Amino acid sequence: MAETIRIAYLYEDLMNTYGDSGDVKILRYLLNQQGYAVKVDNISLGHPFDADDYDFVFFGGGQDYEQTVVAKDVPRLHDTLHKYIEAGNPMLCICGGYQFLGTYYKMVDGTSINCLNLLPLHTVFRPEARMIGDTEYETEWGTVRAFENHSGCTYFDDKDKLKPLGKMVEGYGNNPEDGVEGMRYKNTFGSYSHGPILKNHNIANAFADMIVKRHAERTAAVAEA
């Protein structure tokens, strides 16, 4: 019987803008090709969640309304996600999910959504700076091509702690000023790349490798318990 890799999709029913679920489908395919079964759980409003039970956590994008709904529920996930992230386990957050890693998201009307405050970054909606179109950037795994569509500008509050996912070649990335796309902290990644991002086989394979490593460590720990 094939071993089962477990993936947590945070708020799949609310945070799935521009087909971000494609990232999870691609990972399922790659992991199936390696002989693993894959179980994906939608962790939505009020659902119990312990990140220690999973080999990968995914958080997709959403519009402002959906983000205000999620913002009322997501604080309860803080402690378990903090432990998971600090342990170096793999997590990918796209657009709105990326913004939720930070301290706040200031919306177009000037009000702010309190985010998870897991990492030192914040986002400000800038209606005059709509960032839409094809995007290309260089990462440690090579070139990534996708598309972006956002007015939220994300800024790092601690550039020593957070590193960009990539350096822009085309497009805007995090904001119009910094020339970088996304974020990496340990094995937690944020990105504004839709399309989905993991259609790029180089970075998809890198995530699959991280997930397999996490799975081996998690199942070994369970066996020893």
Cite the active site residues.
95, 194
> From CA 211, how far away is CA 125, in angstroms rounded?
33
> From CA 166, how far away is CA 144, in angstroms rounded?
8
CB 80 within 8 A of CB 50: yes
> From CA 195, how far away is CA 18, in angstroms rounded?
7
CB 136 within 8 A of CB 144: yes
> From CA 220, how far away is CA 177, in angstroms rounded?
45
> From CA 184, how far away is CA 52, in angstroms rounded?
20
Question: 54-84: b or e for each residue (b if 16 or more CB lie within 10 Å)?
Answer: bbbbbbbbbeeebbeebbebbeebeebbeeb
State whether residue 170 is helix, strand or coil.
Answer: strand
Burial class (CB in 10 A: 0-12, 13-18, 19+), 42: middle
Give the closest residue to 194 by CA, choosing from 9, 61, 26.
61
